[in-house]
Structure 1
Amino acid sequence: MSQNPETIASQVGEASKSPGHPPLDQWQPELSGDMDLRVTRDGQWIYKGEPLAREAIVRLFSTILRLEDDGEFYLVTPVEKWRIQVDDAPLLAHSLTVEAGGAEQVIKLTTNVGEVLEIGEDHPLDVGRYPGTDEPRPIIHVRHGVTARLVTAAFYDLAEHVVEREGWAGPELGVFSNGNFYKIG
């Protein structure tokens, strides 16, 4: 078993020949151990104290990362499972774009690994708070428990599309995307 990022990448490449994301939900290997890999709050992937040199490895790792019921993040291949450390959300979301308007609008964000996500059923938006502060923590769900935190500029761009509507408990602030309303604040 190897903690080497290149070895892990080749395992995934061999097991995932079809287009799209690797079939992570089908891979259930035993825990291989802890990998000296940490994703910082600013989105850097640090392996043994140094940023991962190849962006292609970071992109691949983002597709084999999952959050499990124990609250820990794991890189998963068909034969290995490595626990890693994540300071906040493992991905960042930026470059917000909006198509259409009103209840019909579609909001899209691009992650720091180049994936474009539409806020909607598959990628819901959640604006929580950091524990112990009033600082908002806007995230979009990616897959397998992995989230992307909206960078400040994207959150400000999102705020430009906030509307008020009447909810069951009174007025609510939020945004529409793909026919759904996502509360903010």
Structure 2
Amino acid sequence: MSALPECETLKLEQDGGILHITLNRPESRNAMSLAMVHELREVFAAIREETEPRAVVLRGTGGHFCAGGDVKDMASARSQKADDGEDPIFELNRAFGRLLAEVESAPQTTVAVLEGAVMGGGFGLACVTDVALCMEDAKFGLPETTLGITPAQIAPFVVRRIGLTRARRLALTGHRFDGSEAFWL
């Protein structure tokens, strides 16, 4: 197997044919910073052509999977001026969109272990994995809608995973649900 990249926001552990990736920003409930998105993309790029690992397990540290996008990164991107035709918000969204596509198309079996916050982009990430294992205490939702933001980037993946009617209800009402309700979706 190729060498895995050095990561600051992720913990990586190889256990035989399984690569454990732990989102490691517990102070923010593992909110996805741009650095985390880049590190996840680097890890998936490093293993794409490899026969090992055969499976990738994604989880979060500190009792939460992922609270979604890092609001500080988003605010910083909004406050930056576009240089040389590069729009910081576009770049942030494009990087996250590519991550979702890369996880979804990974040749390895991908598993998400979901507990605590599974919100916004974290919910989207869970939806692109092959298997999602959910704890009863998991809290799912699309908080973007309460901020007046459409969860457009993750919507196709959420729809594919839970169906159009349920996804529409979540997006329009801001409804949140727990692991017990997720079992029935």
Q: TM exceeds 0.5?
A: no
Higher-helix-fraction structure: 2
Q: Bigger radius of gyration, 1 or 2?
A: 1
Higher-strand-fraction structure: 1
TM-score, normalised relative to structure 2: 0.29
